Structure 1
């Protein structure tokens, strides 16, 4: 069996990861296949695949606000305060989903916090 057939079989058994991979395969195709990619990534999100969530929003929600400002600020503060690299790695994709305005505010806030930390030392 070829790779695509195996992915379809896994997806039909309820694998969010398989739906995400199918979405990526279809996203690389033409315009007609982008609708299939969108459907596969939506199904991946429904099955709880976190990477499918990020891919869907990066590919199909250009310019739209995915995360509200309060939640974005909360994620931003948690990212700045945590010392754990694992936790930072988990939060970074959520910060990248922000709008241009949200990302600019995050960068400014991050710089202020780093400068304040340097002044303390």
Structure 2
């Protein structure tokens, strides 16, 4: 309805659909029938429709019926292939290092994340 404002609904397969509502605008090139890739920007947070402030409303549909996605037993995805594992660990370490540098103004200094040693999982709070 118009209460949803600007939204994108993505059909993942014959069972699952997700919906993202109240966007300020839909990303360039996104229109009905467009194939979406994981990680692709589909829109921007906003407060269109009957939203009372900027946010993104997420809805999850199974077989055409809206469901609580937290209670859904979604089939597991394939694990990272061994060919991509090293690149993944390197990228993860880089982002963990960046997270460790984040300081919140007005708050006492606190460790957000700690860079992992090779072969040892990173620690975070």
Scaled by the length of structure 2, the TM-score of the pair is: 0.29
Q: Which has the higher helix share?
A: 1
Q: Which has the higher strand share?
A: 2
Scaled by the length of structure 1, the TM-score of the pair is: 0.29
Whose radius of gyration is greater, 1 or 2? 2
